[in-house]
Structure 1
C-alpha cells in the first residue's frame, strides 16, 4: 500500500483568499509548487504576500462575476472540459510563492478565461510585491536590505548572525 503524500497545511489567512490560494487549498486538483510545498519564503514577507493575495483576489472575484454574464464563455469552457481539451485552470491561479536569490518569486498561470487587462493587473500586483520585498526583512518583516553574504537574502541588522572570521571557522580546536 502506498502512502499518500502529505501536503503542507495552509495558513489560516489563506482561507480569506480562496481563489488566489486555491492550489494550496485543493492540492489534489492543482498539483504544483504551492500545493506541494506551500509558501516558501520567510514569515517576514507574509504581509507582502497577503497584500498581493487581497489585490489579486479582488481581480479574480470581479472576473468570475463577469463570466456569469457571458454564457458563450461558460459553454466553451464546459465543452473544453467535456472533450478533455481544457488543460489549464479556468481562472488565473498562483502556482509558486518562494524566495530565490533574495527575491520574492511569484508565478501565475493565467488560464483561458483571463482577459489581457486582468493579466496585466495581476502582473502589476506581483511586480509591486517583488519590489516591496527587496526592502523588507524576510525573517521579521522590518526594513531590511539585500545581504550577499547571507545566502543572498534580505535581512535587517537585528536578524543577522555575527559571522566568525574565516580562519577561526577552519582552524581545528
Structure 2
C-alpha cells in the first residue's frame, strides 16, 4: 500500500486481503503486507520533517480518504487541497500536524524514521518501502537509510 506509514493500516489491509483470498481458496497468511510512503531522513530532523510536510501536502487530500483509521479533519484536508491547488505546497505542508504527518510519511532523524518503520514491522508488515525524495538530498537520504536507519530495525519482530 503506497502513501501510508500508518501501523493501523496493516490490520485493515489484512482484513481486505482475507476477504478476497479466502473465497479464492488462498491462505491470507501467504500474502505479505507492504506499506510505503514519502521518506525524508536527515541529521536535521526538523528540516527533514518540513520537507516531508511539503511532499505529503501534494497527495494528502487523496490518500487520507483511503485510510479509514486516520481521522484527518475534513477542514484540514480542504485547506491543504486549496493551497496545493494554488501552487502553495510549502504553505499547505505547514498546516499538517505531526500526528497526521506520521501517518503518511517517514520523516525526521534516522532514529525517528527507524522507529516509524519498526512500528510497521511490529504491526505485521512484511516489508517497508522508503519512497522518494529519501532525504534533503537523494544521495544523502539513501546513505542514511542504508547506513543509519536499516541497522536500527529488528525485522524478526512482528511477523504474523
- Is the TM value for this pair above 0.5? no
TM range (shorter): under 0.3
**Which protein has greater RCO, CA pairs closer than 8 Å, 6+ apart?**
2
Higher CA-based Rg: 1
The structure that is helix-richer by fraction is 2
